[in-house]
């Protein structure tokens, strides 16, 4: 006998897991059957498990900021945030750019402090000449991604959701009353609503369901763990470039460094490119006089963006049973609580919460 669920969520990374957990908090959840389908043998293998995540209200731009800001108190109250601070640097000649950056987010209520050369050099020992200003965000925090993801999965299970791993969707046909979903191993399942939380595979899931894709494109992002001398202080802030050419932060006595790359990629098990690692190190050496002693580890993940670089949350205009929960770019972790609450409200017909859903509707892309 084929099992039937009210809501079938494709993808059990942070997006799908947080949405399933949020559904369990919605009024009338008792009796609602939710299924998480995860293509891999364990959830969170791809983007979620490879995040150098931080909670920074300016990251992702003004369109993402409401989701990040609304998520902060939830993440903080649940103990998933550790204070870090973020410092966005500017070179000589970029003063107007960093001032505009700080003013743009300060106008949105984000705490921003403009700093001169002496103040940024005090926060980044060994800072080379030429870096003259910075915008400091004191509220930036590190996120315990693994703990947050496991919490969401546990909350979803506690609310009655089921998780099937090794369950890759290959086809979905809309029938009266819902969807007939076929998995790669031949199993079938029936779902009232099909939720696309498949990350880099989101457009592929839509096509398998006969829904027009939204041109959500995956891009590779590289991170390297370095041993440097001197060892980075645990008090070092997250350091970013106003021109988006690098970011780095300390982690367990080592340095996590990214060249802020965005290389178009097909959906895949992303692997780091040695040229990207070398580029990251070269850019780091433009910033500080530290010696890079060893590359201890390197990895890459896929960040998926809609054409306007905002996430996509809501029912497809052409299919009232197909719900998009995708396009979270590199900010899906830091926005997870607010995004999940927004998505769960839309799915269950509840009144809007802390964040206006209109900017994230898939209708804007049709």
Q: Residue 41 belongs to a domain with what CATH number?
A: 3.50.50.60
Same domain as 299, residue 335? no
Is the link from the previous residue into 230 a cis peptide, with omega within 30 of 0?
yes
For residue 61, is it within any domain? no
What pLDDT is attached to residue 331?
94
Give me the helices (H) in the chain, please: 14-23, 65-77, 95-106, 117-123, 145-158, 202-208, 274-287, 336-348
Question: Which of 266, 288, 305 is where one domain is finished?
Answer: 305
Question: Which of 287, 305, 323 is where one domain is finished?
Answer: 305
For residue 278, is it within any domain? yes
For residue 314, is it within any domain? yes
What pLDDT is attached to residue 53?
82
For residue 68, is it within any domain? no
Name the pTM for this structure. Answer: 0.96
Pairing between β-strand 4-10 and β-strand 34-38 as defined by DSSP bridges: parallel
Same domain as 285, residue 238? yes
For residue 356, is it within any domain? yes
Strands of 81-83's sheet in order across: 54-55, 141-143, 81-83
Q: What is the dihedral of CA 74, 79, 84, 85, to 10 degrees?
A: 20
The residue range of the domain holding 273 is 217-305
Same domain as 357, residue 246? no
CB 259, CB 283: distance < 8 Å: yes
What pLDDT is attached to residue 46?
60
For residue 261, is it within any domain? yes
For residue 360, is it within any domain? yes
Same domain as 204, residue 164? yes
What pLDDT is attached to residue 28?
85
CB 233, CB 250: distance < 8 Å: yes
Same domain as 326, residue 183? yes
What pLDDT is attached to residue 48?
59
Residues of the chain with pLDDT under 70: 46-50, 52
Same domain as 317, residue 209? yes
Same domain as 291, residue 229? yes
What pLDDT is attached to residue 43?
86
What pLDDT is attached to residue 18?
98
SS3 281: helix
Same domain as 221, residue 299? yes
Same domain as 151, residue 23? yes
CB 177, CB 185: distance < 8 Å: no
For residue 336, is it within any domain? yes
What pLDDT is attached to residue 268?
94
Same domain as 244, residue 109? no
Same domain as 279, residue 321? no
How many domains, in total, are found in the chain? 3
Same domain as 234, residue 125? no
């Amino acid at each position: 006998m084929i099992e039937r669920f009210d809501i079938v969520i494709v993808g059990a990374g942070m997006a799908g897991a947080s949405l399933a957990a949020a559904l369990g908090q919605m009024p009338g959840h008792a009796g609602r059957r939710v299924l998480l389908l995860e293509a891999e043998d364990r959830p969170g293998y791809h983007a979620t498990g490879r995040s150098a995540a931080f909670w920074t209200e300016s990251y992702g731009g003004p369109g993402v900021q409401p989701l990040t800001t609304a998520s902060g108190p939830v993440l903080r109250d649940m103990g998933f945030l550790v204070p870090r601070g973020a410092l966005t640097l500017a070179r000589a000649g970029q003063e107007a750019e960093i001032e505009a950056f700080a003013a743009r987010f300060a106008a949105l209520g984000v705490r921003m402090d403009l700093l001169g050369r002496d103040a940024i050099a005090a926060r980044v020992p060994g800072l080379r000449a030429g870096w003259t200003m910075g915008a400091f965000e004191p509220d930036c925090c590190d996120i315990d991604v693994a703990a947050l993801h496991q919490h969401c999965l546990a909350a979803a299970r506690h609310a009655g959701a089921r998780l099937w791993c090794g369950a890759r969707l290959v086809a979905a046909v809309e029938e009266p009353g819902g969807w007939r979903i076929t998995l790669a191993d031949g199993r079938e399942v029936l779902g009232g609503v099909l939720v696309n939380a498949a990350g880099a595979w989101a457009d592929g899931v839509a096509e398998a369901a006969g829904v027009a894709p939204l041109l959500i494109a995956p891009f590779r992002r590289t991170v390297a763990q370095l041993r440097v001398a001197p060892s980075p202080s645990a008090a070092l802030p997250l350091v970013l470039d106003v021109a988006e050419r690098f970011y780095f932060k300390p982690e367990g006595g080592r340095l996590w460094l990214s060249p802020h790359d965005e290389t178009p990629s097909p959906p895949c098990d992303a692997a780091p490119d040695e040229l990207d690692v070398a580029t990251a190190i070269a850019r780091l050496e433009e910033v500080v006089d530290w010696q890079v002693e060893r590359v201890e580890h390197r990895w890459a993940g896929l960040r998926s963006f809609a054409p306007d670089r905002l996430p996509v949350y809501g029912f497809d205009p052409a299919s009232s049973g197909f719900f998009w929960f995708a396009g979270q770019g590199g900010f899906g972790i830091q926005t997870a609580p607010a995004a999940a609450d927004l998505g769960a409200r839309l799915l269950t017909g509840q009144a809007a919460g802390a964040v206006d859903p209109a900017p994230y509707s898939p209708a804007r892309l049709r």
